[in-house]
Amino acid sequence: MAEGRQKSETKTDDGRDSNREEETSKDTSPKTPVKERGHMLYSFLTGQYMPIPEKDWLGRCRKVTEFEKLNRVGEGTYGIVYRARDMKTNEIVALKMMRMEREKDGIPISGLREINILLNLHHENIVTSTEVVVGKSLDSIFLVMSYCEQDLASLLDNMPNPFTEAQVKCIMIQVLKGLKFLHEHYIVHRDLKVSNLLMTDKGCVKIADFGLARKYGVPLKPMTPRVVTLWYRAPELLLGAKSQTTAIDMWAAGCILGELLAHKPLLPGRTEIHQIELIVEMFGTPTENIWPGFSKLPALEHFSLKKQPYNNLRHTFTWLSEGGIRLLNFLFMFDPKKRATAADCLDSSYFKEQPYPCQAEMMPSFPQHRNKRKSTGEPEQERSRNKSSGSALDFGGTYNAQKKKRSL
């Protein structure tokens, strides 16, 4: 034993371990020169590089060069959207390029969530995504979606006459059907607003932009509270609630319904504090009686709400029927557990009374404002409307700047 151990520890004349030198002297490098490897994979079974057929270089993804970009439709925090033509099928599609400038560890989690959600959701009132295409570099990734000719943000700013109440009902029924489908599949959108609602020339409304969408389960896990564009943000988010439910989408749906009916933003807050003040002025001050647990919300440790005991929805919509006021109040319940669900809203008497909702096919058609190429000499006001200032991608251009100008 001693002799064997001594043999294994023998040294060479220069002090190096002979066994270790013998092991390291073995040539384990692949025979294929590095410069000739190109698109190759290393096999752990054979210890050799093997070539990848050119048709498999991008996996099942097509190249973005197979699409002809026609014009840019919108830009936001999470990507840029182009109108493009699929040169194989001659179909007009929307190409959403994911923003990767600041990413060092691959695709951002928001992009992965959006890809996963959209590729697995199929509903007539949710934008359809068919595939992912790639460019030459790893940071050039595009999501191919069905193209919609309009978005509600652009329409509200450019249409000569506002939507009629029958048309508003038609739009909201489709939005609620899309939300019902999402919520039944345990997905909360978290950024519902008019600029994320698209419309085809056949009057079909589709919910778009799932960059902030999340799947949820039971029990609920904490999520980032700073979601949903400010004017559509539910009070529980503004006051720092840790859990998020589908109720935040329903509050945003109420804001959209109110905006379409009033022909202007319903709660255009400048800051989070101002947004809370507008909510209190419109709906009154919440209490423990109507919202159990309200007084324990984190934000209330730093400030208190003014006392305002009245609900002013009726004074804001003096012409609206009792069914419409009842639906708005149901959507604007302070307690998320008591707030209307999408299914509740679809059963509302408001959609069953005159004026009856028009059919989607009877919705008016409009010029495609998003596809007009602006000249360099356009007025400053028009140029500012094309800038992005939202928290997520706005398919039809950012609506925040547009709405501020309308509300002045």
pLDDT, mean over the chain = 79
- The DSSP result for 191-252, as a single string, is ---GGGEEE-TTS-EEE---TT-EE--SSPPP--SS-S-GGG--HHHHTT-S---THHHHHH
Query: Domain residue spans in the chain?
Result: 62-146, 150-407
**Backbone φ, ψ for residue 103 (5° rounding):** -90, 130
Q: Which of 114, 135, 1, 5 is nearest to 62 (CA)?
A: 135
Residue 215 reports pLDDT greater than 90? no
96, 77 contact by CB (below 8 A): no
Q: Which of 96, 102, 43, 47 is nearest to 72 (CA)?
A: 96
Helix (H) or strand (E) holding 143: strand 141-146
Catalytic one among 191, 209, 249, 394? 191
Model confidence band, residue 226 (pLDDT cutoffs 50, 70, 90): low
* 68 or 5, higher pLDDT: 68
Tokens read off for 300: 């209330």
Q: Which of 121, 135, 122, 21 is nearest to 67 (CA)?
A: 135
pLDDT for the residue numbered 365: 82
Q: Which of 217, 199, 221, 220 is nearest to 208 (CA)?
A: 199
Q: What topology is assigned to 150-407 in CATH?
A: Transferase(Phosphotransferase); domain 1 (1.10.510)
Tokens read off for 108: 């951002």
C-alpha distances in Å from residue 341, one per residue of 50, 166, 177, 247, 251: 55, 22, 11, 7, 10
pLDDT for the residue numbered 203: 93
Q: Which residues contact 190 (CB under 8 A, 6 or more apart)?
A: 212, 213, 214, 223, 227, 228, 244, 248, 249
pLDDT for the residue numbered 23: 45
Enter the CATH code of domain 62-146. 3.30.200.20
Model confidence band, residue 130 (pLDDT cutoffs 50, 70, 90): confident
pLDDT tens, 286-322? 999 999 999 999 988 888 899 999 999 999 999 999 9
CB burial class (10 A; 0-12, 13-18, 19+) of residue 348? buried
| Span 215-234, average pLDDT | 72
β-pairing, 62-63 vs 129-134, is parallel
* Cis ω for the linkage preceding 219 (within 30 of 0): yes
Radius of gyration of the chain (CA): 28
pLDDT for the residue numbered 17: 47
Model confidence band, residue 36 (pLDDT cutoffs 50, 70, 90): very low
Model confidence band, residue 159 (pLDDT cutoffs 50, 70, 90): confident
Q: Which residues contact 302 (CB under 8 A, 6 or more apart)?
A: none
166, 356 contact by CB (below 8 A): yes
157 is known as an active-site residue: no
pLDDT for the residue numbered 34: 42
90: helix, strand or coil: coil
| CA dihedral of residues 177, 181, 186, 190 (deg, nearest 10) | -40
| Span 41-59, average pLDDT | 72
**Backbone φ, ψ for residue 122 (5° rounding):** -140, 105
Residue 183 reports pLDDT greater than 60? yes
Tokens read off for 179: 């939300």
Q: Is 96 known as a binding-site position?
A: yes
Model confidence band, residue 386 (pLDDT cutoffs 50, 70, 90): very low
Residue 130, Cα to own-chain centre: how many angstroms? Answer: 17
| Span 213-223, average pLDDT | 68
